[in-house]
């Protein structure tokens, strides 16, 4: 508020509810907003990376607009090539390539259209579902906030005028 105004203090229950909802909505955005990457034929190889644990997988879904030759290479942290695959995909077709990590670490992948062009969708699948830990954390914060709100409401003093029951006087 302005200089002379005073705002009531924010209750702890409201903070937990706000944090819990924010975590849940953020998790939905993290998992829901993924899109394919268009890679033209004359472009530099598309490179990116992912931290993987043992048995995590990276799945490359390739959709082409014309006859294409696609090369995929994956390197470990020491820049050693651990996976290389070249696929020929017919125009308008699609192909899926899957890589499973035999050990944990950061892996860099590069995708190059040697001939043709198309879209590439990269999906990292976790073996331990560690990406989904944010949902239980958000739910716990939200439930704790509701619990605290209920607890605070029970402890509040009520201002009320208590009147006794109506008395009937018989004379």
Domains of the chain: 12-154 (2.60.120.380)
Question: For position 39, what pLDDT does the model report?
Answer: 65
Structural contact between residues 17 and 140, judged by C-beta atoms closer than 8 angstroms: no
Say how far apart CA 64 and CA 6 lie, in whole Å: 61
Of these ranges, 20-34, 42-56, 95-109, 142-156, the one predicted with the greatest mean pLDDT is 95-109
Residue 20 is predicted with a pLDDT of 94
By percentage, how much of the chain surpasses pLDDT 90? 43
**Terminal Cα distance for the chain, rounded:** 62
Show the tokens assigned to 68: 């294409």
Residue 90 CA to residue 70 CA, distance in Å, equals 11
- Once rounded to an integer, what is the mean pLDDT over residues 19-36? 83
Instruction: Identify whether the C-beta of residue 71 lies closer than 8 Å to the C-beta of residue 19.
Output: no
Mean pLDDT of the chain: 85
pTM for the predicted model, two decimal places: 0.64
């Amino acid at each position: 508020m302005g200089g002379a105004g005073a705002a009531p203090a924010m209750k702890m229950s409201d903070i937990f509810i706000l944090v819990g909802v924010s975590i849940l909505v953020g998790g939905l955005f993290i998992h829901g907003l993924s899109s394919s990457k268009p890679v033209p034929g004359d472009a530099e190889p598309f490179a990116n990376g992912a931290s993987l644990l043992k048995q995590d997988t990276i799945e490359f879904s390739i959709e082409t607009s014309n006859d294409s030759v696609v090369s995929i290479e994956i390197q470990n942290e020491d820049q050693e090539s651990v996976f290389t695959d070249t696929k020929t995909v017919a125009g308008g077709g699609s192909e899926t390539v899957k890589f499973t990590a035999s050990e944990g670490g950061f892996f860099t992948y590069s995708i190059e259209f040697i001939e043709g062009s198309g879209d590439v969708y990269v999906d990292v699948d976790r073996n331990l579902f560690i990406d989904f830990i944010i949902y239980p954390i958000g739910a716990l914060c939200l439930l704790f906030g509701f619990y605290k709100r209920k607890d605070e409401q029970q402890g509040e003093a009520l201002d009320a005028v208590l009147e006794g029951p109506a008395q009937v006087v018989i004379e």
